[in-house]
Each structure stands twice: as C-alpha cells, then as structure tokens.
Homo-oligomer: A and B are copies of this chain.
Amino acid sequence: MNKDFQANKAAYGRLFQAAEAVLPNAYAPFSHFQVGAALLTEEGKVFTGVNVENSSYGGTICAERTACVKALSEGYRNFEAIAIASSGGTAFPCGICRQFLYEFAPDLIVILGEDIGHLMKYTLKELLPEGFKL
C-alpha cells in the first residue's frame, strides 16, 4: 500500500463511485454479475466501462478492458488509477484484464472493495508480478 492512500482517499472514493454509477449499463445476462470500472488518466479524465458478456463466453470483455479501450480510442494512453465496483461485492480484476492494463501502466493504482467505506488499494504490479510484456 502506498503511503499517500489516506491523502487521496476522497479522490479514490469518487473514482469508485464513478465505477458504481455505470453498473446498470453492464451486459451480464449469463453470470448476472455486473461490473463497472472507472479509469483515471494522467490528464485527469475519467473513462468508465462495464462488462459485456457474450453467448460464446470466450468473447466476453470485462469492465476494466472496456474502460481502457475507450480511453485509448479517444487518444489517452497514460493512466493513473482504476476503480472497480460490482453488483456482488469486492471484485479483483481477472488475469486477462491485469495483462491488458499492464501493457500501458504497470504502476497503475487499483482501487476496489465491497463498498466505498471499505476500499483497498493495490498497484497493478502487485497484482501481476513479473508481468509479461514484449
């Protein structure tokens, strides 16, 4: 945990709330597990994303990746933090999303928790040690 966690607690709370706010947009007819993500760029812009499932489960794209491709497609490539909320409690990013985000921001701050009163903070590197990048 970084030492500036307390200092930024309010900012991270707001990012988490942005992630919660988009939960209704999730397309999760198979798992009924809705996930929302809010990605903060270094410029201070926030991009939100939701999970989008597919009849061929392998086609599913998680909320974190949705937020990331959204930001990239708008020309933003430098990311500071991502918050993840779900309809079912604390949601750690899956390995696919860790891999995807690692490409752009190994030092990304990851904010998640059961609710805004119980947020935890990690770095992406902590969640994907010895990450794979060409």
The chain B residue sitting closest to A56, CB to CB, is B94
A43 contacts which chain B residues (CB < 8 A)? none
Interchain CB contact under 8 A, B59 and A69: no
A72 touching B133 in the complex, CB below 8 Å, given contacts A57-B53, A95-B56, A95-B96: no
Does A129 lie at the interface of the complex (its beta carbon under 8 Å from any beta carbon of B)? Answer: yes
Interchain CB contact under 8 A, B58 and A60: yes
Does A61 lie at the interface of the complex (its beta carbon under 8 Å from any beta carbon of B)? Answer: yes
The residues in A between 46 and 73 inclusive whose CB is less than 8 angstroms from any CB of B are 48-50, 52-63, 65-70, 72-73
Interchain CB contact under 8 A, A56 and B128: no
Determine the distance from Cα of A95 to Cα of B25 in the docked complex, in whole angstroms.
24
State the A residues within 8 Å of B (CB). Answer: 22, 24-25, 27, 30-31, 33, 48-50, 52-63, 65-70, 72-75, 77, 91-100, 102-103, 122, 126-134
